Amino acid sequence: MMKARELEAALDEVLGAYGRPEEKRGLIFGDAEREVARAGFCWSATEGVLEEAASRGCEAIVAHEILYVPGGQQLGLPPDHPELPANRKRRELMEKHGFAFIQYHSPLDDWPIWGVGRALADALGLDPDAASWPRHDVPVVPIEPQSLCDFARHVRDKLNMTGVGVAGDLDRTVTRAALICGGFGKQWRVSELARIGGADVMVTGELLDYCARAAIEANIAVVQASHYTTERPAVVKLAEHMTPRLEGKCEVLLLDTGESVSYHGREL
């Protein structure tokens, strides 16, 4: 067993040098002296994740995403304001079970061993060491020449999704994939990063309509997965990396956040 502050320190040894220094990280909520025998590693600490953590005897939550839905701030309210039901439920569960909440967002994005880009490449069966990097968090990875339709199926199946979005000619051949993880696809310049990196297809989590149209006009196909599925592989890698480091002190459990939506329609 270890204290929450000791778990934070162990994670900081791995991730502390990376990410945006102004961003909140480490122990965000809870008692630093909390005794921790089990830590649940997750992508986002939703109501369902917190309930599972409690049922499995976790005392600490290690998450990539922020604890509270940020909509309250847009209304001029505190992030945990009870007007937002999701935030009220999460705070109630955090307090009820005395969880320590430890967060590493951009540090996990930028982790050079298994950050989100490298981890997604590996999850897709691609070689992250063969990637070029037009930006530090956007790998462009060679793939076996195949039709866009076949590559879209491959992404869908490797990420265990019910479906993916596709923009472009399904019969065209693609050979280099830019991996735009998580919410990066909401940035207008992502298709330009893909173009600079020599990609002919980009895999995204979230995606602005503007970005999809810019990609199409740059002759870059798009396969849209989801924010969760493109970042979950890095959470899995972090849990695997921390397991031997915490052996004998804290058991590491992987808690799946799951998709927020399911996909229906004509199969590829």
Whether residues 102 and 235 fall in one domain = yes
Q: Could you read off the pLDDT of 28-73 as tens digits, one per residue? A: 999 999 999 999 999 999 999 999 999 999 999 999 999 988 765 6
The tens digit of pLDDT for each residue in 115-158 reads 999 999 999 999 999 999 998 889 999 999 999 999 999 999 99
Angstrom distance (rounded) from CA 192 to CA 212: 11
Query: Which residue range is the domain that position 177 belongs to?
Result: 113-224
Check whether residue 119 and residue 199 sit in a common domain. Answer: yes
8 Å CB contact between 138 and 178: yes
Question: Which tens digits make up the pLDDT trace of 79-126?
Answer: 666 678 888 899 999 999 999 999 999 999 999 999 999 999 999 999
Co-location of 104 and 118 in the same domain: no
Identify the pLDDT of residue 80: 61
What is the bridge-based pairing of β-strands 100-103 and 2-3?
Answer: unpaired
Q: How many CB atoms lie within 10 A of CB 197?
A: 21
Which pTM does this prediction carry? 0.94
- Residue 89 shares a structural domain with residue 122: no
- Reply yes or no on whether the pLDDT at 184 is more than 70: yes
Q: Tell me, what's the pLDDT at 178?
A: 98
Question: Is residue 71 located within the same domain as residue 160?
Answer: no
Residue found by looking up tokens 């019910």 in the block = 162
| CATH number of the domain encompassing residue 209 | 3.40.1390.30
Q: How many structural domains are present in the chain? A: 2
How far apart, in whole angstroms, are the C-alpha atoms of residue 63 and residue 26? Answer: 10
In a domain, 259, yes or no: no
Is 266 part of any domain? Answer: no
Whether residue 265 is contained in a domain is answered as no
Based on the domain organization, do 131 and 81 belong to the same domain? no
Q: Is 262 within a domain?
A: no
Q: Are residues 98 and 82 in the same domain?
A: yes
- 135-144, 184-193, 259-268: which is most confident: 135-144
Q: Do residue 208 and residue 181 come from a single domain?
A: yes
State the Cα–Cα distance between residues 52 and 7, nearest whole angstrom. 20
3-class secondary structure, 101: strand
